[in-house]
Structure 1
Amino acid sequence: MLRDFGVTPKSEHYACMVDMLGRAGKLREAQRFIDSIPIKPDAGVWGALLGACRIHSDVELGEIAAKSLFDLDAANPGRYVILSNIYASSGKRAEEDRIRALMKLKGVRKVAGHTIIEIKNKVYTFVAGDRWQLRQI
């Protein structure tokens, strides 16, 4: 990038590389890439690796990525949920329960997903888990 285009790579570029390597199943190569970058990896870089670990059910590397994310941003519920999902997909129920208990202990809560739509000039919201109610806002 720098040599050919004069663009200094930023954290977003490194996160994209980790994401591409991870999605391709090259998780160890993604980890080596993180270890080699000239900046301190941020939440975007570690989040890309954690997401790839979820896709490929890599518990060991997922734990490393999650620990780094917890150190950077312990209040973000998404990191806990992804790690607990990695444990769940790997049949590690005790570890999954431990992460959920840790969330509770730290007061970290996942906000329910929602969608907002407009129909005939009226705005409606749908919340994850809703089945029977259409709420106008």
Structure 2
Amino acid sequence: MNDMPCEPDAATWGALLRASRIHENTELGEKAAEMIFRLEPWNAGMYVLRSNLYAASGRWRDVSKMRLKMRDTCVRKMSGYSRVEVQNQIHLFSVGDIMHLDSKRIYAFLEELELLMKREGYVSATKLIMHDVDEEEKAHMLKYHSEIGPA
């Protein structure tokens, strides 16, 4: 990064932060995050990435500090959702959504799908869940949420 012909921007530092998370290099990730926060202190995604970097290392106290920093600087992460088109009608879903008219059928289908997948050898990638909860809870979280990022 020091030898680039131009000054690295927040996107470049963000790529380094993501790579640091993937390659479990917390020290480098912290340096990249600090540069991002200087350039874009409002960038919620980078706070979450840094928090995930800490969580992957089991540094739960630092995860809590990042959440407090987000709160103290009034930075908020937008909730994600999925969009599915069925017979020319668009349906929106977010994690834990029970407002859809067919939510009971949808969740029942997901349960059936999970059973079929497990029979074929599927194992939840629980290491991708960045919360300090037991493995069973992590597997449950993965069942209904697809925003897990790279392994």
Report if TM-score (shorter chain) is over 0.5: yes
Corresponding residue to 1:118 among 57, 82, 85: 85
1:81 aligns with 2:48: yes
Query: Which residue does 1:108 correspond to in 2?
Result: 75
Aligned residues: 102
Shift of 1:94: 1.4
Quick one: distance in 1 between partners of 2:22 and 2:16?
Answer: 10
1:134 aligns with 2:100: yes
Quick one: distance in 2 between partners of 1:51 and 1:66?
Answer: 10
Query: Which residue does 2:18 correspond to in 1?
Result: 51
* Deviating 4+ runs (over 6 angstroms): none
Quick one: distance in 1 between partners of 2:16 and 2:9?
Answer: 11
Quick one: distance in 2 between partners of 1:121 and 1:82?
Answer: 35
1:67 aligns with 2:37: no
Runs of 5+ consecutive residues of structure 2 not aligned to the other structure: 102-151
Which amino acid is 1:76 matched to? N
Quick one: distance in 2 between partners of 1:56 and 1:38?
Answer: 26
Alpha-carbon displacement from aligned partner over 1:87-111 (angstroms, at most 9, x marks no partner): 1111111111111100011111111
Runs of 5+ consecutive residues of structure 1 not aligned to the other structure: 1-33
Which amino acid is 2:67 matched to? R
Give the share of equivalent positions with the same residue, in percent: 40
TM-score (norm 2): 0.63
* Larger fraction in helix: 1
Quick one: distance in 2 between partners of 1:134 and 1:53?
Answer: 38
**Structure of higher RCO (CA pairs closer than 8 Å, 6+ residues apart):** 2
